[in-house]
């Protein structure tokens, strides 16, 4: 048994939550997270906070933390395959902010957040090159960040319109998880985007993926687009969730024994508009230990 599969039992079960990032709550039409928690606490059991160290935490995130509510730390400024990104000042900032949140773990898209030196508000997210050497390099980054922070680090599959490299996305992340001795945050919406881009069915590759590595799932809306004859799916974080995404969730949830958290990324939507999707998420989780049920 790997170190991670021994360690995962110590991670808390967070339930179903929502995500935010610096300033998101002040945008027009933004999700009222305190209002959601007051009205339907089962839909806001925890908060995943997207963080750039240079910006820190906004007032909403600090208020959540001050109330002692569960949270996770989602990095928005780290290329896992670049050791120079793990500089002393940045790591000190991560440790301080994760401590301030009381973060249950650290997670983030395992892709390219910047090119050249890291700069404030760069946030140019691209998917990784899907080859074995890139997976190994990111695995090294996961191990280094876990050692430096003392928290589990869960890489997430990023979105993209074009994916480069010979590996299937799930094969890439299976290799990354093995190299990093880690679990994973599987974004079902991002996986649906990849499968469409490659002309594959939504659940292609799941049978060979170690589903016991999945600790967290993301759900989000996406919109099919076309430009100049090129068809793609835009990752909109709307409440319009693709059927492909629901199919992936339905396939994964019963087979993910170490699942601890599900995030509905809906920070740009009114509370009333989110409730039908939350109800469907809870229906899929019925009987799973995540919601206090028996073995999946």
Query: Is the CB of residue 132 less than 8 Å from the CB of residue 97?
Result: no
Please choose, from the candidates 129, 17, 5, the residue with its C-alpha nearest in 3D space to the C-alpha of residue 74.
Answer: 17
Instruction: Name the helix (H) or strand (E) containing 89.
Output: helix 88-101
Quick one: fold of 14-285?
TIM Barrel (3.20.20)
Within 8 A by CB and 6+ apart from 286, the residues are: 293
Determine the pLDDT at residue 119. 79
pLDDT at 223 over 50: yes
Lowest model confidence (mean pLDDT) among 76-85, 136-145, 221-230? 221-230
Is the pLDDT score of 219 beyond 80? yes
DSSP 237: -
Residues 70-91 pLDDT 10s: 999 999 999 999 999 999 999 9
Please give the pLDDT value at position 118: 85
Does the pTM surpass 0.85? The reply is: yes
Percent of the chain at pLDDT exceeding 70: 97
Q: For residues 19-43, b (16+ Cβ closer than 10 Å) or e, as one string?
A: bbbbebbeeeebbebeebbeebeeb
Q: Record the tokens describing residue 132, joined without a space.
A: 């074995």
Question: With 90 as the cut, is the pLDDT of residue 258 above it?
Answer: yes
| Per-residue pLDDT, 121 | 66
Q: Pick the more confident residue, 245 or 1.
A: 245
The residue length of the chain stands at: 296
Average pLDDT over residues 193-218: 97
Does 5 score more than 60 pLDDT? yes
Average per-residue pLDDT for the chain: 94
Could you tell me the residue ranges of all domains in the chain? 14-285
Mean pLDDT within 133-141: 98
């Amino acid at each position: 048994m790997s170190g991670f599969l021994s360690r995962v039992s110590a991670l808390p079960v967070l339930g179903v939550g929502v995500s935010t990032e610096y300033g998101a709550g002040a945008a027009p039409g933004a999700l009222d997270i305190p209002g959601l928690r007051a009205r339907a606490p089962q839909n806001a059991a925890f908060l995943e906070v997207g963080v750039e160290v240079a910006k820190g935490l906004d007032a909403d995130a600090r208020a959540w933390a001050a109330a002692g509510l569960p949270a996770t730390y989602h990095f928005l400024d780290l290329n896992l395959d670049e050791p120079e990104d793990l500089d002393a000042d940045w790591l000190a900032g991560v440790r301080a902010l994760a401590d301030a949140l009381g973060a249950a773990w650290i997670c983030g898209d395992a892709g390219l957040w910047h090119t050249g030196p890291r700069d404030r508000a760069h946030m140019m997210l691209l998917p990784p090159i899907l080859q074995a050497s890139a997976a190994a390099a990111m695995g090294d980054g996961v191990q280094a960040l876990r050692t430096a922070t003392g928290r589990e680090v869960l890489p997430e599959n990023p979105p993209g319109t074009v994916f480069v490299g010979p590996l299937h996305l799930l094969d890439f992340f299976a290799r990354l998880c093995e190299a990093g001795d880690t679990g994973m945050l599987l974004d079902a919406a991002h996986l649906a985007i990849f499968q469409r881009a490659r002309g594959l069915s939504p659940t292609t590759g799941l049978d060979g993926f170690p589903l016991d590595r999945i600790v967290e799932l993301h759900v989000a809306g996406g919109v099919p687009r076309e430009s100049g004859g090129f068809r793609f799916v835009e990752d909109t974080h709307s409440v319009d969730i693709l059927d492909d995404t629901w199919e992936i969730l339905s396939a994964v949830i019963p087979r993910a024994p170490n699942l601890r958290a599900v995030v509905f990324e809906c920070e740009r939507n009114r509370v009333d508009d989110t409730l039908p999707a939350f109800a469907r998420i809870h229906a899929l989780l019925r009987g799973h230990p995540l919601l206090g049920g028996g073995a999946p």
